[in-house]
Amino acid sequence: MTNPVYDKLRNCYDSIKDEIPFEPKVALVLGSGLGDYAEQLEIQGTIDYRDIEGFPVSTVPGHKGRFVFARINGVPAVLMQGRVHYYEGYPMSDVVLPARLMKLMGAKILFLTNAAGGVNYDYGAGDFMLIKDQISCFVPSPLIGPNLEELGPRFPDMSHIYDEDLRDIIRSTALELGIRIQEGVYVQLTGPAYESPYEVKMCRILGGDAVGMSTACEAVAANHMGMKICGISCISNLACGMTDAPLSHQEVQEASDKMAPLFKKLVSESIKKMGSI
Ligand code: HPA
């Protein structure tokens, strides 16, 4: 029996498979303001999202739209320079299509990054947060609908979404580089409005440390497929209501731009170590 979601994924894969220069080990998703990371690498190939039939293309300023293939410290990687968000109006199956496609390309590890608002009062703008778990139940699950048996089971376990070994690597790399890194729970809300102060309070009461509009749904899809997952949030701001200042997309972008140099080091050195697991 055919399934339109799986058929679309296969069609996307078939239409690009001849352009993939190597089998990537790591799939890296670059969040807001972090997309420039790809420019510093020795790029071995690119595929524009708009050239892939039916592929979702980001409408958000600051998000580019292409896969980049490069070796990061020798480790073959595919990077998503730009992602799509649920609030852009795409169905959840399209939002996670790129992550699924990178698994079909051969990636074993999914490294998720984003800009996020801190909801934990111990956090400050400019902090990094290693994601230890997530709350994704405020957005529809990408697994709703007939199960894609080719990808994974109907009822996947979610006890260990963020891989302990990968977290050890990122934690120890941050320590070696002298980068302070928090460790916490990421909450995905739909956006696109930033949260009200009481929504921020809700996230905190639920055990969240950072809030954003991406990532967790991709982790649900990747966990379903048995990928090893890790994630870093760049805390670009404290969430609404925690300070008197209003929040803007520009502030988020500027803050993540400032974090980019340290972020690049942390990601590159962590991926180097991921090459040997
Ligand atoms: N809320 C939601 N998403 C975000 C934020 C925020 O405060 N900052 C960056 N992305």
Q: Is the pLDDT of residue 233 over 80?
A: yes
> pLDDT by residue (tens digit) across 95-149?
999 999 999 999 999 999 999 999 999 999 999 999 999 999 999 999 999 999 9
pTM of the model: 0.96
Ligand 1 within 6 A of CB of 211: yes
Residues ≥6 apart with Cβ < 8 Å to 225? 100, 103, 151, 152
Domains of the chain: 2-273 (3.40.50.1580)
> pLDDT by residue (tens digit) across 56-98?
988 777 667 999 999 999 999 999 999 999 999 999 999 999 9
Ligand 1 within 6 A of CB of 266: no
Residue nearest to atom 3 of ligand 1 (CA): 212
Q: pLDDT at position 120, please?
A: 98
Residue 71, helix vs strand vs coil:
strand
Helix (H) / strand (E) containing 100: helix 97-104
Q: How far apart are CA 64 and CA 32, in angstroms?
A: 10
Ligand 1 within 6 A of CB of 116: yes
Q: Which of 86, 18, 76, 6 has the alpha carbon at shortest distance from 47?
A: 18
Residue 258, helix vs strand vs coil:
helix
Q: How far apart are CA 157 and CA 204, in angstroms?
A: 25
Q: How far apart are CA 22 and CA 107, in angstroms?
A: 10
- Binding-site sequence positions for phosphate: 32, 63, 83-85, 115, 214
* Cα-to-centroid distance, 217 and ligand 1 (Å): 16
Residues ≥6 apart with Cβ < 8 Å to 22? 44, 69, 76
* Cα-to-centroid distance, 185 and ligand 1 (Å): 14
Q: pLDDT at position 158, please?
A: 98
